[in-house]
Structure formats: C-alpha cells, structure tokens
Amino acid sequence: MAKLRGCEIVQEYSDIISGAKSRRPGLDQLLADARPHGFDVVLVAAFDRIARNVRHFLDVLDELNHLGVEFFSKRENVDTSGPLGGAMLTIIGAVAELERDLIRERILGGMRRAKLEGRRIGRAPLKIDRARVVADRLSGMSLTKVAEKYHVSRATVCRLVNAASGLKKSSVPQPGKEETVVPSTDSSNLPTAA
C-alpha cells in the first residue's frame, strides 16, 4: 500500500490491546510522533485498527488532520485528503461502532439465554471447608502451603482469613462445616511481599 501511494515507511505502530480501548501504547506513540510532524501520512489496514468507538476514532482523525497528517485505510479504501473522504470516515466509523455494539448485544443475549436454561455463567463455586482453611493459616502454616492443601489460590486464602478476622469470635465458622466459596478475582486482597 505504501509503494502504491509512493510513500516511504518511516515507522510501524502496533498494539496487542483491543481497539476498544482509547489508551494504547502503539496509538499513543503514533500520536506523539505525529506532533513534531514526524510523518505526513498514516496508513492502516482498517478503521477498527485505530478505534472502534466513533467518538475516539474521529478525535484521532481530527488530531491527525490538525497536524496536517493524511489518513488512508486499505479495507475501506478511504483517504482524508478530499471532502468525500471526510464524509466517508464518519459513516464507516459509525458502522464500526454499530458492529461492536451488535457483538456485545449478542454476547449478553447468549448469557441471558444460558442463565434461563439453568447453565452457570462464570466460575463454578469451590466446595471447601472455610473454617479449616482459616484455622490452618492462623496456626502458622504458610500461605502457599494452605493454598496448595485446599487447591485454591493464595488470594482466596487471604480473603477467607480477612473475612473470618472481621467476624466476632462467636460467628466464626466451625471446623467440619463445608461452605461454598467462589474465589475472588479482586486483586486488592493479594498478598504482598515483605
């Protein structure tokens, strides 16, 4: 594409993060390099490589336009150097956002249907003896050993111990009583290195 347009490739920018995110290292670097007029043209394979949100997409293009940098997209065969290109950008950007919203809607619809059919969404709960996990940890057994013994994450052990220490002594679960516990994905309870 660069050869066909008579352009010399100065730099390639890429991201492994979803185009739905507005802050991405590759895109941020592209915009930073465009500010001192490091290049004249941005070539992309498709609009959604820049952004999938119309507002963000148009913000990026507006900034490039303000800096005097032209934008070409291979898939949509659009360039911003003419007035028709600017109109097409808005239309195609809206279609990209619509596509993303439709995908999200289908995923949520599938999750609702699965829930109605009685299928579990997310992780299966773990059946562990909560009181024994807490007792083992409080008896001095290392965090890693307790986690290995009960086949749970270290974060789950920390969460159970923190939850038990917040309760009154009379309400601490009794050993031998099984409870269902869903492991937390909250990173705030992860153990810290001393």
Which sign, positive or negative, has the C-alpha torsion 134, 137, 143, 145? negative
Which residue bears the tokens 């992860």?
190
Using a cut of 0.85, tell me whether the model's pTM lies above it.
Answer: no
Q: Are residues 51 and 111 in the same domain?
A: yes
Rg (CA), the chain: 26
Angle between helices 54-66 and 83-116 (to 10 degrees): 160
User: Domain for residue 8, yes or no?
Assistant: no
Structural domain range at position 92: 25-116
Q: Which two tokens stand for residue 74?
A: 């291979």
Tens digits of per-residue pLDDT, 102-158?
Answer: 999 999 999 999 999 988 887 777 788 889 999 999 999 999 999 999 999 999 999
Look at residue 44 and give its three-state secondary structure: strand
**What's the domain count of the chain?**
2
Of how many residues is the chain composed? 194
Q: Give the tens place of pLDDT for each residue, 6-36.
A: 888 888 988 887 766 778 888 889 899 998 8
d(CA 95, CA 52): 9
Which of 71, 98, 116 is at the close of a domain? 116
Output the pLDDT for position 185. Answer: 46
Asked if 155 and 190 count as a contact pair (C-beta separation under 8 A), the reply is: yes
The residue type at 108: L
Helix (H) or strand (E) holding 128: strand 126-128
108 with 136, same domain: the answer is no
Helix (H) or strand (E) holding 181, with range, is: strand 179-181
Beta bridge partners of 179: 128
Average pLDDT of the chain is 79
Beta strands in the chain (DSSP E): 41-44, 70-73, 78-79, 126-128, 179-181
Closest residue by Cα to residue 139 from 168, 171, 166, 164: 164
- Whether residue 86 lies inside any domain: the answer is yes
Q: Are residues 30 and 112 in the same domain?
A: yes
53 in Cβ contact with 84 (< 8 Å): no
| 136/180 same-domain check | yes
State whether 81 and 44 are in the same domain. Answer: yes
